[in-house]
Amino acid sequence: MRAIAIENLKGGVGKTVTTISLAHILTETYGKKVLVVDCDGQCNLTRFYLGEVPDTVTLAEVLTGDHEPYWLDNVIEVKPGLQLLPASQELYRLDLAALRRGASGLTALRDFLEAVAEDGGADVVLFDCPPGFTAASTAALMAAGEIIVPVLMDGFSVEGMADMLIQVSSMREVNPALRVAGVLINQWHRCPAVEQGEQLLRSMPLPVFRQTIRRTDKVPESTFLKAAVVDYSVTSAASRDYRLLCQEIFGEVEA
Ligand SMILES: Nc1ncnc2c1ncn2[C@@H]1O[C@H](COP(=O)(O)OP(=O)(O)OP(=O)(O)O)[C@@H](O)[C@H]1O
Ligand SMILES: [Mg+2]
């Protein structure tokens, strides 16, 4: 089971759209079982699938140990092969220090994933992380084996990569297996600033995915309709890019 955190300290870089796109390609094209975990108090992923925050167990209860004993009772099947562990605004109230003191604390999500893996419940787990450094994103980085870092090509984002790498190396003290699968250039379009930014990023000592995701109006359109762009506009540039990215990360679809 691969557990991948989609993470960047910066907001609005495409973490949630990337989570949804990968999840849908993996279930629909690759026939994989996927668990998506909404780690963000904004609840974008949760509302995308459910319309509203459910009155059931969410990630906050998993982190505080107030969840059901059997993992499957805590998740919601949102489409065939795709399970969601929802978020709630309770995540904003979770205090890192309190979690550290608590019995379950930051490793609760890791324990949860171990139960999923033992049951063969998912082939891939994707954590949609919030912007910034929160209790939930820390828990996700404790449980993940890999990180995908979506970025936009502007000076602040490229500079922010250094902070991201510091965060990852500090997480390695508690999760030595954690590695950066790659930085993902999102909203790529042909203009000097973007092309120069790409060049600068690719000269830095960090893995950058060969595949970029092009800027496409179909993406914001699809979020209004609560549809994955890869389903809403199969032939759009972003959809084609996400399918190629999936090949880069997970290999060719098996026949
Ligand atoms: N390839 C793309 N082309 C055009 N617009 C895009 C693309 N990818 C994402 N967007 C738009 O960028 C915005 C941010 O995307 P998204 O919500 O996925 O980012 P995020 O990193 O999850 O944000 P947050 O940090 O608030 O959770 C959305 O309005 C989305 O429609
Ligand atoms: Mg998001």
**How many Å lie between the centroid of ligand 1 and the Cα of residue 16?**
7
Angle between helix 108-118 and 135-143 (nearest 10)? 40
Predicted local confidence at residue 20, as pLDDT: 98
Q: What is the pLDDT of residues 43-70, one digit of tens each?
A: 999 999 999 999 999 999 999 888 888 9
Predicted local confidence at residue 93, as pLDDT: 84
pLDDT-flagged residues of the chain (< 70): 95-105, 255
**How many Å lie between the centroid of ligand 1 and the Cα of residue 7?**
13
Predicted local confidence at residue 96, as pLDDT: 63
Query: What is the secondary structure of 235-253 as a DSSP string?
Result: TSHHHHHHHHHHHHHH-SP
What is the Cα–Cα distance from 153 to 188, expressed in whole angstroms?
7
What is the Cα–Cα distance from 197 to 12, expressed in whole angstroms?
18
**How many Å lie between the centroid of ligand 2 and the Cα of residue 23?**
14
Q: Name the β-bridge partners of 124.
A: 2, 34
CB 181 within 8 Å of CB 40: no
| DSSP strand pairing (82-85 vs 76-79) | antiparallel
Predicted local confidence at residue 133, as pLDDT: 83
Give the pocket of ligand 1 (CB within 6 Å). 11-17, 40, 42, 44, 131, 186-187, 213, 215-216, 219-220, 223, 238
Q: Is 130 helix (H, G, I), strand (E, B) or coil?
A: coil
Q: Which ligand is nearest to the CA of 233?
A: 1
CB 165 within 8 Å of CB 198: no
Residue extents of the structural domains in the chain = 2-249
Minimum-distance ligand 1 atom for the alpha carbon of 128: 22
Q: Find out if CATH 3.40.50.300 is the number for domain 2-249.
A: yes
Cα 133 from chain centre: 14
